[in-house]
């Protein structure tokens, strides 16, 4: 009787160890995938933020940029804002970008039917990407474009 009890216990213990090892391996795999996803996300944000900062010099009267380069930088900044920042960044970064746009001469169209529809699309995309933190951004969204006349005046002033 003692021998069968020991055999049953041994089989039970080995089974539990096997199941525990499988569960442990699965949990470790999930944590590793999550760490990799987070690392990729941070890397993508670093690249987007770095290029955004580089393109910001187009708004800041950089004397090393001629009119065409400054215009190109401004357009790239706005493109990066619309393509990356609005989709992937938290609302605090979007608010900071809005504050930056408020401080530089930039054109934008106020909310209308088209921009409302675009904002709805952006909100759906953000939700699908798992970034639905739009509560503070909803009422502030604007569709930005370069203010070419103001840039011409700034460059002319710098060249005199």
pLDDT at 103: 82
- To the nearest whole percent, how much of the chain has pLDDT over 90? 9
C-beta separation of 68 from 153 below 8 A: no
What pLDDT digit, counting tens, does each position of 99-139 carry?
888 888 776 656 677 777 777 787 788 888 777 666 545 55
Rounded to whole angstroms, the Cα distance separating 125 from 86 reads 10
Stretches in the chain below the pLDDT threshold 50: 1-2, 136
Domain locations in the chain as residue ranges: 43-159
pLDDT at 55: 92
Distances (CA, A) of 12 to 6, 120, 138: 10, 56, 58
pLDDT at 111: 62
pTM of the model: 0.65
């Amino acid at each position: 009787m003692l021998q069968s009890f020991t055999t049953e216990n041994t089989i039970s213990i080995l089974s539990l160890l096997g199941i525990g090892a499988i569960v442990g391996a699965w949990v470790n795999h999930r944590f590793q995938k999550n760490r990799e996803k987070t690392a990729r996300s941070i890397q993508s944000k670093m690249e987007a933020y770095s290029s955004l900062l580089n393109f910001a010099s187009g708004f800041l009267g950089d004397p090393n940029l001629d009119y065409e380069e400054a215009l190109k930088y401004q357009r790239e900044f706005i493109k990066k804002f619309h393509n990356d920042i609005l989709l992937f960044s938290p609302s605090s970064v979007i608010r900071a970008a809005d504050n930056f746009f408020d401080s530089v001469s930039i054109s934008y169209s106020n909310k209308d039917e088209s921009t409302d529809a675009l904002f709805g699309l952006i909100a759906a995309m953000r939700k699908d990407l798992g970034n639905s933190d739009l509560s503070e951004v909803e009422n502030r969204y604007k569709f930005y474009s370069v203010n070419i006349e103001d840039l011409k005046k700034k460059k002319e002033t710098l060249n005199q």
